[in-house]
Amino acid sequence: MAAPRPPRSDAAAEEVARTAAAAPDWESLATSARGCVACPELAATRQHVVVGDVPVGGRPRVLVVGEAPGATEDETGRPFVGKSGALLDQLLAEAGLDRAEVAVVNIVKCRPPGNRTPKAPEVARCSGWLRRQVELLDPPVVVALGLSSAKWFLGPRTVLARAREGGPVAWEGRSLFVTYHPSAAIRFGPNGAPRAALAADLRLVAQAAAS
Q: How confident is the model at residue 58 (pLDDT cuts 50, 70, 90)?
A: confident
Q: According to the model, what pLDDT value does residue 6 have?
A: 44
- Please tell me the total count of domains within the chain: 1
Average pLDDT of the residues of the chain = 94
Selection from 4, 2, 8 nearest residue 124 by Cα: 8
Type of residue numbered 120: A
Alpha carbons 89 and 57: distance in angstroms, whole number: 19
In a domain, 3, yes or no: no
pLDDT of the residue at 57: 79
Residue 211, pLDDT score: 83
Q: What is the mean pLDDT of residues 190-211?
A: 95
Instruction: Answer whether residue 5 is part of any domain.
Output: no
Confidence of residue 8 (pLDDT cuts 50, 70, 90): low
| C-beta contacts of 11-18 below 8 A and 24+ residues apart | 12/38, 12/39, 12/125, 13/38, 13/121, 13/124, 13/125, 13/127, 13/128, 16/125, 16/126, 16/127, 16/128, 16/129, 17/127, 17/128, 17/131, 18/128
Task: Over range 156-181, report the average pLDDT.
Answer: 95
Q: Which of 83, 72, 163, 152 is nearest to 118 (CA)?
A: 152
Q: Cβ contacts of residue 72 below 8 Å, gap of 6+?
A: 81, 82, 85
CATH number for the domain spanning 137: value is 3.40.470.10
In a domain, 115, yes or no: yes
- 7 pLDDT band, cuts 50/70/90, is low
Is a pLDDT exceeding 90 seen at residue 129? yes
Mean pLDDT (whole number) for 76-93: 96
The answer to whether position 124 is within a domain reads yes
Is residue 4 pLDDT above 80, yes or no?
no
Q: Please indicate, yes or no, if residue 4 is contained in any of the structural domains.
A: no
pLDDT in tens, 25-52: 999 999 999 999 999 999 999 999 999 9
Contact 170, 73 (CB under 8 A): no
Contact 179, 202 (CB under 8 A): yes
> What residue numbers bound the domain in which 38 lies?
11-210
Rounded Cα distance, 29 and 27, in Å: 5
